[in-house]
């Protein structure tokens, strides 16, 4: 089941999150992108502790498409070092996986 992954990225602009979501789905690099937020992120950046209001994109795709998803996200993202993190889907319902796979470019 690990042929599919969820990819996470965050951005400080709701519009940017929406643009990333729309572009990935339009290009069939993702079957679905959920945009959640706003949320508060606390992190260390260039030696200082930062707090930011962010939106989280949860991108449903395949492991095979991950390199293209990463490249697309990095190309659209305003952060110098955006989070692009893939987590394998270890279990999911069979009908959902059929739908997911059918919506991706590689199908």
pLDDT in tens, 21-78: 999 999 999 999 999 999 999 999 999 999 999 999 999 999 999 999 999 999 999 9
Count of domains forming the chain = 1
Q: How do beta strands 48-62 and 85-88 pair?
A: unpaired
User: 107 in a domain, yes or no?
Assistant: no
Any idea what the CATH number is for the domain that residue 97 is in? 3.30.70.120
- Give the range of the structural domain holding residue 22, as residue numbers without chain letter: 4-102
């Amino acid at each position: 089941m690990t042929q599919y992954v969820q990819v996470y990225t965050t951005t400080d602009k709701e519009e940017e999150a929406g643009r990333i979501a729309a572009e990935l789905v339009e290009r069939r690099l993702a079957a679905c992108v959920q945009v959640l937020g706003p949320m508060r992120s606390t992190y260390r950046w260039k030696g200082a502790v930062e707090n930011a209001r962010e939106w989280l994109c949860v991108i449903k795709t395949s492991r095979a498409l991950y390199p293209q998803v990463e490249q697309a996200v990095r190309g659209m993202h305003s952060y110098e070092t955006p989070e692009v993190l893939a987590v394998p889907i270890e279990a999911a319902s069979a009908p959902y996986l059929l739908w997911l796979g059918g919506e991706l470019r590689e199908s």
